[in-house]
Structure 1
């Protein structure tokens, strides 16, 4: 059995517990939105403090089951720091550890294998400027070619290079990835990434001529997004409401 909330909260900081609760919520929301791939994708979050520890899903636990206390704490090499009956998927941490090490601002890294995301990642042109949802993504999007299941540490420099300073990374023939300062920011970025891919697949399925949004509009989108969110991140704006929805539909993530 996973550790109880009471046993963990007695031995960890309030900041770590808050990170655990929000990361567990992100996992359950991923399941609620239908982006999970059984147990085979990951969301990781840096533990506040100087130790360079991270939280990741217990391998084998479904996303809608994950709790704050069941998350596994690991070091930068993917080794468990605390006792846990669960293992960690090595392929998951290859990707996540590379990005956490290279991007100090990437406190949370989220990766999905959603059907729509993989479908668009397999298209030669990738994500197209077909919707309002796509514009914020395209303004900060990198591309990484598929190299097989992410087990090879030699791939890490290329992942880091292809992400660069972007928020979004399309993993070709594989899926989607977002980074954020918090689980909220990474999750809401993924919402727009996934929505843009879903809209593109549906628009293409309609069979008609597609109408791309002109480049000058894309060039000005970052400033417009800042005006709409009133200077806060979209994650900070939306997260409280998402937690209320989760409390109604799948409570218990904070255990």
Structure 2
């Protein structure tokens, strides 16, 4: 998908954010988190207006570039001359988070097979792996209300998410909300891995060994130590190097 570059026509901060968010879409495609064109990742731009970037609806994740991302406000008005539409359902979910979570620069939402499978289970994510023990310290649930076209759902989603970084949307999928794009990506990588492990473990039919609740609290802190306090920023440069080797087109 050829889109004329807007580098130089936006601020340096916005361009860096556009490149990081476009990279996130390409990495999501690489790791198999896509559902054709039907999920979204957004990043809130600096400033009090709560403007944010979201994907051009209709493009596959491996087609998205820094320049093709669409800038919108909290009413879903496009703030640039993008020829691409924005998905109303994706907008409702992402605007709900960006509206109330000043700490959440980035929101990632997926419909992976493992994520939806765990979201359909009554007990949700189980404490059966190191990965799930990291997520469970900051996990909330939101009941399914149908495809999220209705703005009336936003207050309930906001209340259910609260101050958590991980949200399991029942019968629907997974969501992470974090202070940086890199943090949101790492949170989703661990969340998705925990779901894949759970489905694989359940498929074996053997009795599962739960992680003790006391360890869950310890592991949440241990992840900060493991990344030298940098969170997703610790792995992000390596992820970008990986992407550069495979496909550097996201920066156009």
TM exceeding 0.5: yes
> How far did residue 223 of structure 1 move?
2.1
1:150 and 1:2 map into 2 onto residues whose CA distance is: 30
> How far did residue 51 of structure 1 move?
3.4
1:47 matched residue in structure 2: 45
CA contact (8 A) 2:228 2:234 kept: no
CA contact (8 A) 2:72 2:78 kept: yes
Aligned residues between the structures: 252
1:216 and 1:13 map into 2 onto residues whose CA distance is: 46
**TM-score for both structures, normalised by structure 1:** 0.96
The alignment status of 1:56 with 2:16, answered yes or no, reads no
CA contact (8 A) 1:117 1:198 kept: yes
Q: 1:178 aligns with which of 164, 176, 179?
A: 176
CA contact (8 A) 1:2 1:85 kept: no
Give 3-state SS (helix, strand or coil) of 1:253's partner: helix
> How far did residue 218 of structure 1 move?
1.2
1:246 matched residue in structure 2: 243
1:211-232, Cα deviation, whole Å (9 max, x unpaired) = 1111111122222222212222
CA contact (8 A) 1:67 1:253 kept: yes
Give 3-state SS (helix, strand or coil) of 1:169's partner: strand
> How far did residue 148 of structure 1 move?
0.2
2:129 and 2:90 map into 1 onto residues whose CA distance is: 31
> How far did residue 3 of structure 1 move?
4.3
Q: 1:210 aligns with which of 205, 208, 228?
A: 208
Task: Give ranges in structure 1 of 5+ residues lacking alignment.
Answer: none
2:193 matched residue in structure 1: 195
Task: Give ranges in structure 2 of 5+ residues lacking alignment.
Answer: none
1:225 and 1:52 map into 2 onto residues whose CA distance is: 29
1:60-105, Cα deviation, whole Å (9 max, x unpaired) = 0000010000001111111111111110000001010010011001
